[in-house]
Structure 1
Amino acid sequence: MSDLPPMTSIKRWFVTTNHKDVGVLYLATALFFLLFGGVLALVFRAHLWEAGGTGLLSGNEFNQAVSTHGLLMVFWFLSPFAAGFANYFVPLQIGADDLAFPRMNALSYWFYLFSGILIAISFFQQGSFAGGWTMYAPLNVPTYTPAMEATTGGNATVLALLLFVFSITIGTVNFLVTIHRSRAEGLGLWNMPMFTWSWLLTVWMMLFAFAALLAALLLLSIDRIFLTQYFATDQGSGLLWAHLFWFFGHPEVYIVFFPALGIMFETFQTFTGRRLVGRKWVIIAMVLVAVQSFLVWMHHMFLTTINLEITTLFMATTIGISLPFDLMVFALIYTMVKGRVRFTTPFLFSLGALVLFILGGITGVFLGAVVLDYEFRGTYWVVAHFHYVMVSGVTALIAGLYYWWPKITGKMYSETLGKLNFAVYFIGFNLLYFPMFLAWETPRRVFNYGEGMQIYHQMATVGAFVLGSSFLIMFFTLAKSWVSGPDAPDNPWEFSRTAEWAIPSPPPLENWDGRPSYASGRLEFVDDSAAATDGGVATGHAETTTESAHEDVHADHASIWPLGIGLGTFVFFLGLTGITPYTVSFATERGLEGVGTGAETSILYPALIAAGLAILAVTLFKFGVEEFNAPEMPVAERWPFEGVGNTKMGVWVFLASDVVVFGAAIGAFIFMRIHTGWSEWTTVPFASWPGLLNTYILLTSSFTVILALVFAERQNKKGLLTAMGATLLLGLAFMSVKAYEYSVKFSHGDYWWNGIEYSIYFVTTGLHALHVILGLLVAVFMIYRIISVDAYLEDHRPVEFFGLYWHFVDIVWVFLFPLFYLM
């Protein structure tokens, strides 16, 4: 399926892989989750109208509303809304035809949508998660939910987050490959538009931060569903969750804010009529923040048992990370002072975002000081500061919506309504959040408060409804524009300077009539068809190849299989949400004391698991065999990755993320072993010989993968088939030894719930085994393709890419073997 239906067809939105369509889907879906989370906020703010806790909600209902509101806003609205702009405009700003992997881009969206549906369903599964959006241990494990029946909705929330992180990971790899390898000729990294720069740094942070969150969520979901002991108080450690979560959580603040900052840079330049002051230094400051963001996570843990020296170090890094932001703020202010400001709707929202962020940043420095943090931690001061930072980012994203609305829709909106929207928004924002500073003695996430704080909470509740009404004005303004607004010119802003304004509004499907080029120092569109050559010529960092051949290659824009894979994964995860009672029954039959089933087991959830796996099997196979053309740009800036193809770079970037996942799992083992006492740790494997044997097996399989690549390069089908078959057999031998090892442990009554040592052994080696299984499934598919269509003889690169993954799995085992079998 390569032909894309018209935009008026519903079918188009189920099959599209075009980056602009996917961007629109992200924007529309994120706005829905904004409404979802916003309604929850209005409900619990109404509950807090009076002191004493006699409001609309029970304690558990209040906790569910607050927790889900936080999760929806941080995960399902803020980052995806920015991703919508990035999907639409980053390829246009850098002169690309599309993202590097269009089908994976569509898959990223469908994972995002289905993850949101899963968290919505959790409310209908005896209640959603109620332990706060940070999911602090031990409130994140079933032992501390009101009843065992409530674990299903909690499981759904955790698994929804897991599916959301899958979406983020796929999108991150896609953008990194695209920005580094698909920039128009002459467009160096330093000269990229500021929004693209902000998004590049955002996805680099996402790559590693969300990998840490993925590891934390994997451990948490296994704790909840299979009763392991990572975060239970009797065996595991709540401090472990805090380290894993905040290693993700603090970079997430900048992941959320950087795209908003990029929009502020773009709109300030456009509506002041001058280039951003200190542009080079602003980029350097952003790079510094991106790196430093991973070095400050422990300031969220000042009240734990970390010693004074570590506390002082992290206080210094926390205050230090504010300094680059000072430079960015002054750059924006000087740009405004030295330019001629045009107070349009986008600029008003950007200016408002700057004002709000300054106040949020200053109040955040208070929390960076240990002494003040002891006083403010866990109070509404943190709530107010957090929202002044995060929702100032929302303010800038709304500026982006107004700024790019004419380009996306081809319609102009009413400036009068837009400015009214800003006025109501800005008043509502401050009326909602500023009183929280005054009510700072109120404990956060508590459904009642003292009478002395009532006036501040009532002001905040009024502000919440005013802020909510501003979004109704926004939706009305944009709907009126969509239905009856005047047609927008290609460039409605006099001083806009990025490439998206050089093409029609809305842009055509293929983006460009000619090839975008900055070789002359400014944007031009080059027609290479008359000057096509027979060979390739390298010029600087740009590669020039025959253009006539490129024009004969039709780029596809439609595939139904990303939707199918998303649906199958959703059904599978929905089935997993209700498996806990089966696990409890299985465990109690085998001697786990003190745990009752607590819920009736139902055949529904195992049936959903089976159905999800069946859908995945079919759709993944169809995805693999589908003929889908996404040609690389023949002429592009690729520094510093000139010699690496798109897919190869994508594999390397994905593996870099996977390093963090395994690093977190191994780090959890080291942390818990030190926490328990290194010499007191129980060694789980009954013998070292299975681990040693599996080491030899995997190392041998790496050799057979290399042989497969050699045979593919020589176009030797028989040799390629033999080498791939040997790799498959060696992988099966590895799994057989692992199955024997597990069976011996089970026969001795050693299960993963017996203690933290057993949990870590089974989960870490099981995570590696899951990677082996996935590799074996790919090997089976590749063998099928070799037999059926003589695949990989003309193009051996897929064999090389499979080898990279397989070697990575082998290297991980080389680390696991001594940790679990020799120490």
Structure 2
Amino acid sequence: MSGLPPTSSVKRWLVTTNHKDVGILYIVTSLFFLLFGGVLALLIRLQLVQPGTQILADAAYYETVTAHGLLMVFWFLSPFAFGFANYLVPLQIGADDLAFPRLNALSYWMYLLSGLLFGVSFFQSETLSTGWTIYAPLNVPAYTPTPGATAAVLALGMFVVAVTASTINFLTTIHHARAEGMGLMDMPMFTWSILATVWMMLFAFAALLGAVLILASDRVVGSLYFSATEGGALLWGHLFWFFGHPEVYIVFFPALGVMLELFQSFSGNRLVGRKWTIIAIVLIAVQSFLVWMHHMFLTTINLEIKTLMMASTIGISLPFDLLVFALIYTLIKGRIKFKTPFLFAFGALLLFILGGITGVFLGAIVLDYEFRGTYWVVAHFHYVMFGGATALIGGAYYWFPKITGRMYDELLGKIHFVIFFVSFNMVYFSMFMAWETPRRVFQYSQDYVEIHQFGTIGGFLLGFSFLIMFYNFAKSYVSGEVAGDNPWEFTRTAEWAVPSPPPLENWDGRPSYATGRLEFLERGHAADGGEPAAADGGEPGGQASSDRAVSDGGHAHGDEAGDYVLGDKHHSHASIWPFALSLATFVALLGASGVQQSMSFVGGPNSITGVDVVVSNPFYPALMLVGAAAMLYSGVQWGLEDFYAPPAEVASRWPFDGIEKNKLGMWFFLASDVIVFGAFISAAVFIRVNAGWMSWDPLPAEIPGLINTYVLLTSSFTVILALVYSKRQERTKMMASLAATIGLGLTFLSIKGWEWHHEIYDKGITLTQNPHGPPIQSTMYYVTTGLHGIHVILGLIVATFLLVRAYQGHYMHDHRPIEYFGLYWHFVDIVWVFLFPLFYLV
């Protein structure tokens, strides 16, 4: 399927892969989750009108606080920003679309359905009630035993999968599809902020995925990671905050990018210290991974390490000082126009400064002991996260004319800002004043009753301000003044050089900055095309070429289905399989959420193997199996679909010149998977050190593991042979090599299955029982090697798909699918090289 129905059709939004459509879906959906989380926030404020129970019982209040935090941090703030990123980044860098359009659609549907899965968790007895940080051991079934709590954990995992898909897509696009002549240092500041954000996301969210997978194994299959006495709670703290502190900047950086763009557009002045601003952003991105432990000052970590973390925390504030001064000096030297977008951007700067200053208190060990666990932290957190994200609201007003072609109501926009800014400070500054209130608790001193009541009034005013925004946008979309292509006087970025809203294919010609200014050339030609416009200085303009030329000299033409033709190829814009695969994943995870409660194991110490299983409720297991089967079917259909998304003909690709876009995307995926396995291996090492490094003997015998090592290494060799024969166009030998790879992979799984059977039945070592050592040792062995086994199974499914396609005559003239599969398979083999000594030798 490649055609796009009209925007008035529901089908359009189910099948679209166009980056602008996906961006709109992200924006609208994130605003829905803003309302969801906002209603929960108002319930919290009503509970705090008086100390003690008001409208929510104890458990319901804890669930509400947890859900509010998770929804706002994960399902609103970042997705709202990436709605704009989806829409604007390809336009700002001169790309036709994101590098992988179907992957982009998949990331959206995984995001939406993960949020719906989280919503469903409320109806499965109880959802999570741990706080948004999901601290151990509260996160294990002993304390939160319901299917709803498990569904919430799995929803978070599904959300991280969506983030990973989006991250890979943006990294590949920005590094592979920038217009000719646009170097990294020439990119608009909003795109720069997104680039820094997705680099952080690639590693931070991979660490979170590792933590969530470990937690899911505790909840679904009954492992013992975070219920273990050998440092389980501290392990969660390390894994979560290695993600959690970069997440602060992952949320803030897109808002910073909006501020940087809006300060230039509404001051009429170029950003002061642009180069140093970019350097500061890079420094912050790197440093964000080096300060996670300041969230753990109250743990038993020794004072020397805490002191080091305190120094690094204070150090990360220095690049932020540079950013703030760059913004201020840009205004001082400009001619400010106090339009609604600028007011929100400027308000965001003021709020973030206050949030940053109050955060310095928490970076000091002694003060952190006093403030930790109080409303000081809650206030600081909201001033940074929500305060900084205030700029995103300004971005919504700023790009509303571009997305809709209509102007918003300026008076209503300014009224919205005034009510928003005043009520924001009523809510969150009152928390500083009542800072001794314990966080996540509705019991507090009578001295703070009036302050909390004042904050509650502010909370409802804050909610009302968003109703003004929704009314403004809805009214303006229907009957607002026509905006024209560029309603602002001092814009500097390429999205304002195309019509509002932009056409489906973005550009009539090929954007180029080869001359230092934005020009539109005929595709496939190096002639001047149209009136040049400034790349990052002055007002963009220029006329696009009326014909879309391709590299062979033929001309593309649009059709009614929503495709454009490139010679004899169609650039595809639609596919149903991202939605289908996401829906199947939703069904499978919903089923997995209730498996542990639906099945019981009987028959002695070996029952955990599943030999003696009593199914009390077949609904959840059946749902999981149906979802898994649908995932397999959707994945195969995805691979069979004739979907064409050509790379940019001419582009700036430093530092990845000469790297094909699919290979680059695979590299980014494997980089994230390195962190996932790194989380599992680090968890094993951490818990073993806490339990006593030399007190454990290797669980399995080394001979089966050694044989499996040889088997996997040999399978890497056969994959290389398949690639060689594909390049030589020797189909029979290529098929034989792929078949040998599949055979070796099945051999590996067979040996692993025999080994597990031997450990369980002959030695009595199960997932939760180890008569020869600590139970946590067997948990780590089965779960970590199990994760690796799942990777092997996925690889075998792909290899089988490739073998069938090779039999049908494919890959004789395009060997790249074999090469990319080989990269994945080699990675799986390398991981085993690390797991073998960890569990078999040491």
TM-score range, shorter chain: over 0.9
Match of 1:495 in 2: 490
| Other structure's SS at 1:98 match | coil
Aligned CA distance change for structure 1 residues 512 and 693 (closer, same or farther; 3 Å)? same
Report how many aligned residue pairs link the two structures. Answer: 801
Q: Is 1:722 equivalent to 2:736 in the alignment?
A: yes
Question: Who is 1:195 aligned against?
Answer: 190
Deviations 1:431-477 (A, max 9, x none): 00001001111110012212111111111111110100000010011
Mapped contact 2:175–2:655 kept (Cα < 8 A) = yes
Distance 2:746 2:606 in 1: 32
Tell me: CA distance 1:530–1:704, structure 2 relative to 1, closer, same or farther (3 Å): closer
Q: What one-letter code is carried by the residue in structure 2 that aligns with 1:32?
A: F
Q: Deviations over 1:668-714 (max 9, x none)?
A: 011011000011124321x1101000000001101100100000000
Name the CA shift for 1:396/1:139 in 2 (closer, same or farther; >3 Å): same
**Distance in 2 of aligned mates of 1:682 and 1:234:** 19
User: Is 1:631 matched with 2:631?
Assistant: no
1:25-36 residue pairs with structure 2 within 5 A? 25-36=25-36
How far, CA to CA, are the matches of 1:610 and 1:712 in structure 2?
A: 36
Alpha-carbon separation, structure 1, partners of 2:216 and 2:451? 39
* Residue 667 (1) aligns with residue 666 (2): no
Q: Deviations over 1:113-157 (max 9, x none)?
A: 110000000000001100110000000001113xx4xx2000000
**Matched AA of 1:82:** A
* 8 Å Cα contact 1:212/1:247 also seen in 2: yes
Structure 1: distance between partners of 2:577 and 2:38: 33
Q: Residues 526-565 of structure 1: CA distance to partner in whole angstroms, max 9, x if unpaired?
A: 1246669xxxxxxxxxxx9655488413211000011100
Alignment check: 8 A CA contact 1:91 1:97 kept? yes
Tell me which residue corresponds to 1:483: 478
Comparing 561-570 and 614-623, the one that deviates more: 614-623
From 199, 203, 206, the counterpart of 1:208: 203
Q: Which residue does 2:12 correspond to in 1?
A: 12
**C-alpha distance in 2 between matches for 1:641 and 1:103:** 23
Per-residue CA deviation, residues 253-277 of structure 1 (Å, 9 max, x unaligned), is: 0000000000000000000001000
- Structure 2 CA distance for partners of 1:56 and 1:547, relative to 1, 3 Å: farther
2:724 aligns with 710
**3-state DSSP class of the match of 1:516?**
strand
For 1:545 and 1:629, locate their aligned partners in 2 and report how far apart those are by CA, in whole Å: 16
Aligned partners of 1:642, 1:547: CA distance in 2, in Å? 25
Contact 1:529 1:548 in 2 (8 A): no
Pick the aligned partner of 2:704 from 671, 685, 690.
Answer: 690
Using the alignment, how far apart are the partners of 1:509 and 1:681 within structure 2?
61
Provide the rounded CA distance (Å) in 2 between the counterparts of 1:209 and 1:394. Answer: 20
Quick check: 1:96 aligned with 2:115? no
- TM-score w.r.t. the length of structure 1 is 0.96
Match of residue 575, structure 1, among 574, 591, 598: 591
- Equivalent in the alignment of 1:536: none
Q: Percent identity?
A: 63
Query: Once the 2 structures are TM-superposed, how far is the Cα of residue 241 of structure 1 from its aligned partner?
Result: 0.2
Instruction: Tell whether 2:127 aligns with 1:108.
Output: no
Is 1:46 aligned to residue 62 of structure 2?
Answer: no
The structure 2 residue matched to 1:783, chosen from 797, 803, 814, is 803
Distance 1:271 1:740, change over 3 A: same
2:425 aligned to 427, 430, 437, which one?
A: 430
Question: What's the offset of the Cα at 1:799?
Answer: 0.4
Question: In the alignment, what sits opposite 1:746?
Answer: 760
Corresponding position of 1:537: none
Q: Which amino acid aligns with 1:15?
A: V
CA distance in 2 between partners of 1:471 and 1:4 (Å): 33
Match for residue 555 of structure 1? Answer: 571
Which deviations, in whole Å up to 9, do the C-alpha atoms of 1:256-311 show, x marking residues without a partner? 00000000000000000010000000000000000000000000000101111101
Q: Quick one: which amino acid aligns to residue 210 of structure 1?
A: F
* Contact 1:50–1:454 (8 Å) recurs in 2: yes
CA shift digits 1:370-404 (9 cap, x unpaired):
11001000100000000000011221110110000
Q: Which moved more, 1:676-685 or 1:493-502?
A: 676-685
**Could you tell me which amino acid in structure 2 is paired with residue 717 of structure 1?**
R
Cα distance, 1:621 vs structure 2? 1.1
Paired letter, 2:796: L
Who is 1:371 aligned against? 366
Alignment of 1:133-212 (within 5 A): 133-145=132-144, 148=145, 151-212=146-207
Amino acid in structure 1 at the alignment position of 2:252? F
Work out the CA distance in 2 between the residues paired with 1:7 and 1:465.
Answer: 35
Instruction: Give 1:44 shift.
Output: 1.4
The one-letter amino acid paired with 1:720 is M
The residue aligned with 1:655 is: 670
Which portions of structure 1, spanning 4 or more consecutive aligned residues, are displaced by more than 6 angstroms?
A: none
Per the alignment, do residues 530 and 368 of structure 1 end up closer, same or farther by CA in structure 2, a change over 3 Å counting?
closer
- Rounded Cα–Cα distance in structure 1 between residues aligned with 2:582 and 2:751: 33
Partner of 1:515: 510
For 2:805, give the aligned amino acid. R
Q: Is residue 16–residue 22 contact of structure 1 (8 Å, CA) maintained in 2?
A: yes
- 1:277 and 2:272 equivalent? yes
In 2: Cα distance, 1:49 partner to 1:607 partner: 46
Q: Distance in 1 between matches of 2:84 and 2:305?
A: 39
Corresponding residue for residue 21 of structure 1: 21
Aligned: 1:293 with 2:288: yes
Over 3 Å counting, the alpha-carbon distance change for 1:472 and 1:622 in structure 2 is: same
Once the two structures are superposed, residues 64-98 of structure 1 have per-residue CA deviations (whole angstroms, 9 ceiling, x without a partner) of: 00000000000000111111000000000000000
CA contact (8 A) 2:178 2:653 kept: yes
Q: Give the whole-Å Cα distance in 1 for the aligned partners of 2:376 and 2:205.
A: 27
Secondary structure of the equivalent of 1:523? strand
Separation in structure 2 between the aligned mates of residue 589 and residue 545 of structure 1, nearest angstrom:
69
Which residue is 2:343 aligned to? 348
Contact 1:706 1:803 in 2 (8 A): yes
Q: 2:660 aligns with which of 620, 641, 645?
A: 645
Conservation of the 8 A alpha-carbon contact between 2:606 and 2:766:
no
Secondary structure at the counterpart of residue 143 of structure 1 = coil
Q: Give the Å deviation of 1:654.
A: 0.5
Asked if 2 retains the 8 angstrom alpha-carbon contact of 1:682 and 1:757, the reply is: no
1:763 equivalenced with 2:763 (yes/no) = no
Distance 1:605 1:588 in 2: 23
The answer to whether the 8 Å contact 1:33/1:72 transfers is yes
- The alpha-carbon distance between structure 1 residues 529 and 668, as it changes in their structure 2 partners (threshold 3 A), is closer
Alignment of 1:277-426 (within 5 A): 277-426=272-421
Contact 2:26 2:82 in 1 (8 A): yes
Structure 1: distance between partners of 2:642 and 2:827 = 28
Partner of 2:432, secondary structure, is: helix
Given that 1:432 and 1:463 are in contact with CA atoms closer than 8 Å, whether structure 2 keeps it comes out as: yes
Q: State the distance in 2 between where 1:518 and 1:437 align.
A: 49
**Deviations for 1:14-42, whole angstroms, at most 9, x for unmatched residues?**
00000000000000000000000000010
Task: Return closer, same or farther for 1:98/1:431 CA change in 2, 3 Å cut-off.
Answer: same
Distance 1:531 1:460, change over 3 A: closer
The aligned counterpart of 1:796 is: 815
Q: For each residue in 1:598-637, what CA deviation from the matched residue of structure 2 results, as whole angstroms up to 9, or x when unmatched? A: x993111011112102211221111100000100111111
Letter in 2 for 1:556: S
For residues 554 and 256 of structure 2, what CA distance do their matches in structure 1 show? 40
Query: Would you say the 8 A contact 1:141–1:220 is kept in 2?
Result: yes
